Chain A
């Protein structure tokens, strides 16, 4: 039964994992996402759905446990925060190279290095430009509410299995920690062994007699074979780019200036739009829900009629580069942001937007 609850973002995500019929969570504690594993351990889903929850010795181990379970056809996930996600990059690259479906959650905190434990969006480049080695892409979902923490967990698994590709939920410390009401979707039973065999004929579940063995690997020693595989990946990415873009647009129809922001920044920016509209300034907002694939066409279309774009990010400006690529010089694009775990207030975003709009005219 779907039910309405007041929950932290991290808790909603964990509850959604149980309800989505996830088979395994492997993780390692790190602030500000530790509630994910704490919630799962307390819920003890192995007794109800059979979902395995295991505290690993490191993020390295977690992501490689995910690799193993995903390679054996199971719905496996992990979560961490920025420094831990950096440790996972090797495993994520291997998972992409072996085309395994899984979900990785990054509740981002400020960096570089150990940084802060406050919310940040400075891991955008790492996530959408390939944090590990090699040409690969992560399907990247950016929740902006506790509701989306729950909903995107299921969506991430759906997309990961649809395309046999790792998916990342790029959240941040604010979305992970804040409490909101959330409508939890009805529980979906975990797949039976037979359903796993049927849905994942490529998975290593034990070679059946008179069938070929299955191998999960990212090693292709012959250059032409590796290139052919790379091309296959690129073709897949093209299909994802064409079919899976998700974004929300508010007040864009008559907007002079459009703010592009995701996650927490989108929440504060929405308030900034309200403030500006009260003053008669026509601001709109485009909120990417998928950071990769990026809403290129939507931004392209808006670029025909607006005077400029302002990205608002909790970073030195990372997504702004993708917005500039999409706008392709048609109108000015600028960035406004705070760093190191500081969240920009709606008022300062509103001011920044107004002064940028004046320059655009």
Chain B
């Protein structure tokens, strides 16, 4: 069997969703943002909710998310995405609203907006990308930077005695009654990507069912540029180090009985 016999439209089993356009992503090679962009758009496409979905982009590496995602989007000020999402959801309660935020945006400058949005139980989805560093500004310490990790603003390693501790904001958020589904995922292996996608799809479906409560999905990714490793090394480092502190898995799930919504994988 020749390649020409295999490479035919009817044999295609994986192609890019139409909700992600052809512009080259502005991320570094191997960055997890691209995968999360894709699976988020795949979920919107597969659920058929494009016409009612509004996304909020953050400030940080994903600031240009709206350039790549082919859905209606708003670009929020740094850290304010949950407030912007609240503003939209309250006046369009039947729309699907999600924020896409990094660790600096969500867990540092926007902590108040994050906590209070979750505490009000806004019926939105927060997608939180945790790579433990400020990527866009050149690799400075994030609230989530692990103890001892070296960054541009903690060149001798994060010293918790003066710089505080890596913030488990996802565990904090899970304490709030307004939050109904909290999970920590990653996108560093094919299996992890499929699980993360299932989580996003489930959270969007919960909005569809009008379940009152915030869904919060943390996705641990590498920042291989910031960590100064190759993409493959960075993913291995994440497995060996990040996951010890930021343990993957569901943290809170009030909808356990809901059937696993994953459709195509």
Name A residues whose Cβ lies closer than 8 Å to a Cβ of B.
23-24, 26, 52, 54, 56-58, 60-62, 64-72, 74, 76, 90-91, 94, 98, 204-209, 213-219
**B75: Cβ under 8 A from any A Cβ:** yes
| List of B residues within 8 angstroms of A57 by Cβ | 112-113, 115-116
| List of A residues within 8 angstroms of B83 by Cβ | 56, 60-62, 64-65, 67-68
The distance from the CB of B112 to the nearest CB of chain A, in whole angstroms, is: 6
| List of B residues within 8 angstroms of A209 by Cβ | 50-51
Interchain CB contact under 8 A, A66 and B72: no
**B235: Cβ under 8 A from any A Cβ:** no
**B140: Cβ under 8 A from any A Cβ:** no
Contact of B72 among A24, A26, A56, A206 (CB under 8 A): A206
B122-149 residues at the A interface, CB under 8 angstroms: none
Contact of B54 among A26, A54, A72 (CB under 8 A): A72
| List of B residues within 8 angstroms of A60 by Cβ | 80, 83, 112-113
Given the known inter-chain contacts A61-B116, A71-B88, please indicate yes or no for A206 contacting B50, CB distance below 8 A: yes
The distance from the CB of A346 to the nearest CB of chain B, in whole angstroms, is: 44
Given the known inter-chain contacts A57-B113, A215-B72, please indicate yes or no for A72 contacting B92, CB distance below 8 A: yes
CA distance A70 to B74 in the complex (A): 11
Contact of A207 among B64, B71, B88, B91 (CB under 8 A): B71
Task: Give the number of A-B contacts (CB < 8 Å).
Answer: 132
**B16: Cβ under 8 A from any A Cβ:** no
B147-175 residues at the A interface, CB under 8 angstroms: none
**B25: Cβ under 8 A from any A Cβ:** no
| List of A residues within 8 angstroms of B72 by Cβ | 204-207, 213-215
The distance from the CB of B148 to the nearest CB of chain A, in whole angstroms, is: 33
Interface residue tally of chain B, by bracket?
20 to 34
Interchain CB contact under 8 A, A213 and B87: no
CA distance A206 to B98 in the complex (A): 12
**Other CB < 8 Å A-B pairs besides A54-B86, A217-B57, A217-B66, 8 of them?**
A54-B90, A60-B113, A71-B84, A74-B91, A98-B74, A205-B92, A207-B71, A219-B63
- 11 sampled A-B residue pairs with Cβ under 8 A: A52-B91, A56-B83, A64-B80, A64-B87, A65-B86, A67-B84, A68-B76, A69-B88, A72-B54, A72-B87, A205-B54
CA distance A216 to B86 in the complex (A): 16
Contact of A213 among B63, B73, B90, B115 (CB under 8 A): B73
CA distance A62 to B82 in the complex (A): 11
Cβ-closest 9 pairs across A and B: A68-B87, A65-B87, A217-B75, A68-B84, A64-B83, A204-B72, A57-B116, A64-B80, A61-B83
**B56: Cβ under 8 A from any A Cβ:** yes
Interchain CB contact under 8 A, A208 and B51: yes
Greatest chain A CB density within 10 A among B75, B86, B87 is at B87
CA distance A209 to B80 in the complex (A): 29
| List of A residues within 8 angstroms of B54 by Cβ | 72, 204-206
| List of B residues within 8 angstroms of A208 by Cβ | 51
| List of A residues within 8 angstroms of B87 by Cβ | 24, 26, 64-70, 72, 76
CA distance A213 to B74 in the complex (A): 11
The distance from the CB of A79 to the nearest CB of chain B, in whole angstroms, is: 15
Given the known inter-chain contacts A24-B91, A56-B83, A65-B90, please indicate yes or no for A218 contacting B112, CB distance below 8 A: no
| List of A residues within 8 angstroms of B92 by Cβ | 72, 74, 205
**B95: Cβ under 8 A from any A Cβ:** yes
Greatest chain B CB density within 10 A among A24, A54, A215 is at A215
Given the known inter-chain contacts A69-B91, A205-B54, please indicate yes or no for A64 contacting B113, CB distance below 8 A: yes
**B85: Cβ under 8 A from any A Cβ:** yes
| List of A residues within 8 angstroms of B73 by Cβ | 204, 213-216
CA distance A98 to B73 in the complex (A): 12
Produce 1/0 per residue, B43-67, CB < 8 A to A. Answer: 0000000111110110000011010
Contact of B66 among A61, A64, A215 (CB under 8 A): A215
The distance from the CB of B146 to the nearest CB of chain A, in whole angstroms, is: 29
CA distance A206 to B69 in the complex (A): 12
Interchain CB contact under 8 A, B90 and A52: yes
**B70: Cβ under 8 A from any A Cβ:** yes
CA distance A88 to B249 in the complex (A): 38
**B77: Cβ under 8 A from any A Cβ:** yes
| List of B residues within 8 angstroms of A56 by Cβ | 83, 86, 116
CA distance A70 to B91 in the complex (A): 10
